[in-house]
């Protein structure tokens, strides 16, 4: 579901290498349908020849719920966590964890973006994208 990518940048005499994880989805090699990372066969044509492709890492929250889960910081306590279904901009729907607060009654779609998570996470982590209006405090 995640792929390590190494990016190099040059800053004068020094070269900097950074590692970044990309969100990967599947594409049917037969009909090019894009699929969620956990699919085993194409939902359109039924073929099982699927290739991994990089997703943009942005999408819209379709549904969410708050569940109690354990925390690395407080291993004996349960903390509220937001589990959501996100429709990626490419089309597939995936289960995710959400960082940040979601509006109780959103007046418009809630946009999210992929975030690097600790290895071993069952679901990818997305964070709520703040719009220009949100940052400026405009309602």
Q: Mean of the pLDDT values across residues 117-135?
A: 73
* Residue 137 confidence (pLDDT) above 90: no
Instruction: Kindly report whether the global pTM for this prediction surpasses the value 0.85.
Output: no
> What are the pLDDT digits (tens) for 68-103?
988 777 778 888 899 999 999 999 999 999 998 888
Angstrom CA distances, 30 to 24, 27, 43, 44, 56, stand at 18, 9, 12, 10, 22
Q: Does the CA dihedral 96-111-117-64 come out positive or negative?
A: negative
Domains of the chain: 2-53 (no CATH), 56-136 (2.40.50.140)
- Answer whether residue 6 shows pLDDT above 80: no
Q: Is the model's pLDDT at 130 over the cut of 80? A: no
Evaluate if residue 126 carries a pLDDT over 70. Answer: yes
């Amino acid at each position: 579901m995640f792929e390590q990518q190494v990016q190099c940048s040059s800053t004068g005499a020094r070269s900097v290498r950074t590692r970044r994880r990309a969100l990967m989805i599947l594409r049917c090699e037969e009909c090019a349908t894009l699929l969620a990372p956990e699919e085993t066969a194409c939902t359109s044509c039924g073929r099982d020849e699927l290739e991994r492709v990089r997703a943009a890492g942005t999408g819209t929250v379709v549904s969410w719920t708050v569940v109690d889960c354990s925390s690395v910081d407080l291993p004996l306590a349960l903390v509220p966590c937001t589990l959501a279904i996100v429709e990626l901009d490419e089309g597939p729907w995936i289960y995710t964890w959400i960082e940040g607060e979601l509006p109780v009654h959103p007046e418009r779609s809630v946009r999210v973006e992929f975030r690097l998570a600790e290895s071993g996470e069952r679901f990818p982590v997305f964070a709520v994208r703040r719009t220009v209006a949100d940052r400026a405090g405009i309602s």
